[in-house]
Amino acid sequence: MATLEFWFDFGSNYSYLSAMRIEALAREKKVQVIWKPFLLGVVFKALGWETSPFVLQKIKGDYTCRDMARQCDKYGLPWRQPAAFPRTALLPMRVALVGADQGWIAPFARRMMTMNFAEDRDIDNLEAVSEALAGLGLDAGAIVALALTPDNKLRLRRQTQQAQALHLFGAPSFLSGGELFWGNDRLDDALAHAAGARSLSM
């Protein structure tokens, strides 16, 4: 099956749009999604930004608020402008890595994104993460303990370094056969590229 890497951060509003839709769209194209959480804030700092450009540039931020409302209406997704933006999400990002190994990252990611962008809740805490895991019928205590091991913390740092080595500069980003697609509005193109690459290899 063709694969598409989906690089995202739970604090990224446009990643929310993609995370809520990508699995269903990928099934239609017979493409397997490889979820790749990374720390977008680290990437921004390396570019000389202390926070999101949507915060640094007020005009762009104001536009993005309206754009998100329009896009969520278009896709039928709930939306509530977060009171804090961008929200830190270090714990859920570490947990997401465990989910990638164990096969439940997609529903976990959708739940965390919903908490952040539809319910306007802080997500970088044990209560929110445990609620999301319990809702999936998972052992929250065991998973959080695994997520907080030194090895897993190092994995997230290294995955973020990998994102930088791949010259990723924002989220969501999609990689298909070494080809980079950036932004929620390029999701369909990225999936089409992955599906086309599969067809050429058959």
Rounded to 10 degrees, what is the CA torsion of 54, 57, 58, 63? Answer: -50
Query: How far apart are the C-alpha atoms of 44 and 195, rounded to whole Å?
Result: 31
- φ/ψ of 33, rounded to 5, equals -90, 130
Contact 139, 102 (CB under 8 A): no
d(CA 171, CA 178): 16
Euclidean distance between the first and final Cα of the chain, in Å? Answer: 10
12 is catalytic: yes
Q: Which of 12, 15, 18, 176 is catalytic?
A: 12
19-27 contacts at long range (C-beta below 8 A, 24 or more positions apart)? 19/109, 19/110, 19/113, 19/172, 20/75, 20/77, 20/110, 20/113, 20/114, 21/75, 21/187, 22/187, 23/106, 25/187, 25/188, 25/191, 26/191
Continuous H helices in 52-104: 53-56, 58-75, 90-102
Three-state secondary-structure class, residue 188: helix
Catalogue the active-site residues.
12
